[in-house]
Amino acid sequence: MFLRLPFLKDPMIAVLVIATALALILPAEGEARVHAGTVSNVGIFVLFLVNGMRIRRAEIARGIANWRYFGPLMLFVFGAMALLGLGFGWASSGLLPPLVALGFVYLGCLPSTVQSATSYTSLAQGNVALAVVGAALINIAGVFVSAPLFALVGGVGAGEIGGEAIIRIVLILVLPFAIGQVVQDRFIDHLIAHKATAAWLDRAVIGIAVYVAFSGAVEQGLGTMFAPADWAALVVLVLAMLALALGAAWGTSRLLGLPRGDGIAFLFAGSQKSVAIGAPLAAILFPPASAGFVIAPLLLYHLAQLVMAAPLAMRLARDA
């Protein structure tokens, strides 16, 4: 039974594990890391160009029109989750290195996933169409909201976000997405026909961004700064944050009086966090020496949400 759980079939798990292990064993250092960073930036540009092509403008308009669902979801993802991340950042500040504690704040400011939130909504017999549109819109908003929100919530710890970082966000994330929206009518049918190839583009770009980030952390002494007790504390804190996020998302959907199918979509879109946005954005916001530490909570959260979402979705399906 356990071997048939959906998260075990997700290739993203293998990509994240391989990228992290490769950075620990054979990190990119010096000139090699500069070249790897350039490849990562080019890949991020292409990824967001493709994202702009494949998210239909009509879907964006439909999602915005459904304010009763989308409005509270936006507030939950970028409000409640940001405050939850801030709380866990404070709680971990005396237990973990400062940049790792800051990573909880960064985690809380990120948008939700698209693919896994949609997959688990479907598995739980929720409103799949609403999950697709809602998660897609949250990701679009995240391109514009996550960085300034992190700068606001993170305080002095996020002080590295300056004019240069904003320009890089515009050039590497916003500009290609806008171009993709303009030219999507020419390419969207081709992307739909080659959906599997586009999915591997996502995974490859994320893997490269994670590899570059962790290479910098390894060079700065990740192995010596983290004792086994530190890893244990990080895992416990990440699991606690995920459990609270799931409970808060489900409770909010009940308070809003959403139909059960819509509430299931809200549960997964509200509680899950996107490494597809988080890893590339960290590569832009932070120097390689810092990025690996900051995204450590995000990577563990991403793996944990896949592990916990599968049995939760099957339980919701049985209850239905």
Q: At residue 320, does pLDDT exceed 80?
A: no
CA quadruple 290, 291, 295, 297: dihedral, nearest 10: 0
Q: What is the DSSP string of 189-214?
A: HHHHHTHHHHHHHHHHHHHHHHHHHH
142 vs 164 pLDDT, higher one: 142
Give residue 155's pLDDT band: very low, low, confident or very high (50, 70, 90).
low
Q: At residue 41, does pLDDT exceed 70?
A: yes
Report pLDDT for 58: 75
User: How many distinct structural domains can be found in the chain?
Assistant: 1
Residue range 234-238: mean pLDDT, rounded: 94
Q: At residue 259, does pLDDT exceed 80?
A: yes
Q: Exposed e or buried b for every residue in 236-250, given b needs 16+ CB within 10 A?
A: ebbeebbebbbebbb
304 vs 219 pLDDT, higher one: 304
Rounded to the nearest integer, the mean pLDDT of the chain is: 81
C-beta atoms surrounding 229 within 10 Å: 9
SS3 27: coil
- Structural domain boundaries enclosing 259: 2-319
- C-alpha to C-alpha distance for 249 and 76, rounded to whole angstroms: 8
C-beta atoms surrounding 129 within 10 Å: 15
CATH number, domain with residue 93 = 1.20.1530.20
Q: At residue 307, does pLDDT exceed 70?
A: yes
Q: At residue 2, does pLDDT exceed 50?
A: no
Residue range 226-237: mean pLDDT, rounded: 84
Query: 169 Cβ partners below 8 Å, 6+ apart?
Result: 143, 147, 281, 284, 285
- pLDDT tens figures, 159-196: 455 556 667 777 777 788 889 888 888 888 888 787 77
Q: Would residue 20 be called left, alpha or beta, if left means φ above 0 and alpha means ψ between -120 and 50 degrees?
A: alpha
Residue range 68-80: mean pLDDT, rounded: 91
Least Cα distance to 20 among 180, 191, 217, 280 occurs for 217
Q: At residue 208, does pLDDT exceed 60?
A: yes
Report pLDDT for 162: 55
Q: At residue 6, does pLDDT exceed 80?
A: no
Report pLDDT for 76: 95
Give residue 3's pLDDT band: very low, low, confident or very high (50, 70, 90).
very low
- pLDDT tens figures, 267-304: 998 999 988 788 888 888 888 778 888 888 998 898 88
Report pLDDT for 202: 74
CA quadruple 124, 127, 133, 138: dihedral, nearest 10: -60
Q: At residue 311, does pLDDT exceed 90?
A: no
Report pLDDT for 247: 96
Residue range 63-69: mean pLDDT, rounded: 75
Report pLDDT for 148: 86
